[in-house]
Amino acid sequence: MASSRSTRASAAVERLKKRTGNTGYSMARTGDGLFFLSEAPGAPALNAPLELDDFVAFVNGLGPQEVKRISKNDVEFEKQLVRKKPGS
């Protein structure tokens, strides 16, 4: 279970690196299994040690956010769904 926890946290850090272009971000775990992030290995932590879900949410909130692409077809489909709701 511990390895899947680390994998989920490290995947969040990898996404952050990709979004920001900063490949120096580094994740570490405390002895009691909490996670923290720094801008480089050995640099000061950017957060207090956090539980996995809180850490992933923290990391996901950093840096520029990826914008979900929506096609014209998606927009038209959404319009049709709104028009066809029951009771309309």
Contact at 8 Å (CB) between 36 and 43?
no
Tell whether 88 is covered by a domain: no
User: What was the pLDDT predicted at 47?
Assistant: 95
Tell whether 78 is covered by a domain: yes
At residue 86 the predicted structure's pLDDT band, cuts being 50, 70 and 90, is: low
Strands 35-38 and 26-29: antiparallel
At residue 80 the predicted structure's pLDDT band, cuts being 50, 70 and 90, is: confident
How many domains does the structure of the chain reveal?
Answer: 1
Q: Domain of residue 71: give its range.
A: 2-83
Model confidence over 16-70: pLDDT tens digits?
Answer: 999 999 999 999 999 999 999 999 988 999 999 999 999 999 999 987 776 667 7
Question: Residues of 55-87 as b/e, b for ≥16 C-beta within 10 angstroms?
Answer: bbebbeebbeeeeeeeeeeeeeeeeeeeeeeee
Tell whether 26 is covered by a domain: yes
Higher pLDDT, 77 or 9: 9
pTM of the model: 0.69
